[in-house]
Chains A and B, each alone.
Chain A
Amino acid sequence: SAVISQKPSRDICQRGTSLTIQCQVDSQVTMMFWYRQQPGQSLTLIATANQGSEATYESGFVIDKFPISRPNLTFSTLTVSNMSPEDSSIYLCSAAAGELFFGEGSRLTVL
């Protein structure tokens, strides 16, 4: 298993600003993923964070809006850029350590 720490756990942001979410895993993992969970909905994969290369984005998500860094095998960041109220959601970091484990999530509210 893996223990995943995410911060911030929640934040209230102003429209047009950007926020970076950090994700730290307690062990080295090859695969890290970022998901979004909108209110009352299931999880939607945003991108796969690849160590040493650009992230791989799912349909509907672009690098300019959700830039991702993966500087090493235990850490990743997701930035939500130029936020609008539609970006209000829970953002979840996950890591594949045998199976897929999740951080506690970052609940963003955009006013």
Chain B
Amino acid sequence: QKEVEQNSGPLSVPEGAIASLNCTYSDRVSQSFFWYRQYSGKSPELIMSIYSNGDKEDGRFTAQLNKASQYVSLLIRDSQPSDSATYLCAFSGGADGLTFGKGTHLIIQP
């Protein structure tokens, strides 16, 4: 069974600091990895995808993937109060739908 592990939090980070979110997954054949942001009462919004080992940067967001360790992370630089949300890690091994983690609740303290 495919599983995704995330620390549910809450993770509290001061405004302006770096927020670090981590995720491990069980399926070694997984090829695609995603980070979604979900505000309370809203649907998930894709913020990052990563497909190969290493780092991928997009604005204040950096995704890091280590397939050997089955580990993916998301760094948010210069954290803003608007970044406060639940961050969902997800992966895909093929044509089926994504498998999601339970999410990490991030709180950015002004």
Contacts and interface: CB of A to CB of B under 8 A. Distances in A.
Interface of A: 31, 33, 35, 41-45, 48, 56, 92, 94, 99-105
Given A31-B95, A100-B34, A43 B100 contact: yes
Contacts of B88: 42-43
B103 A42 contact: yes
B100 A42 contact: yes
Contact of B46 (A35, A48, A99, A103): A99
Interface of B: 34, 42-46, 49, 88, 90, 92, 95-103
A interface secondary structure, majority: strand
Contacts, number: 44
Given A48-B97, A94-B97, A104 B42 contact: yes
A100 B97 contact: yes
23 contacts: A33-B98, A42-B100, A42-B101, A43-B88, A43-B98, A43-B100, A44-B100, A45-B96, A45-B98, A45-B99, A48-B96, A48-B97, A56-B96, A99-B34, A99-B49, A100-B34, A100-B46, A100-B90, A101-B46, A102-B43, A103-B43, A104-B42, A104-B43
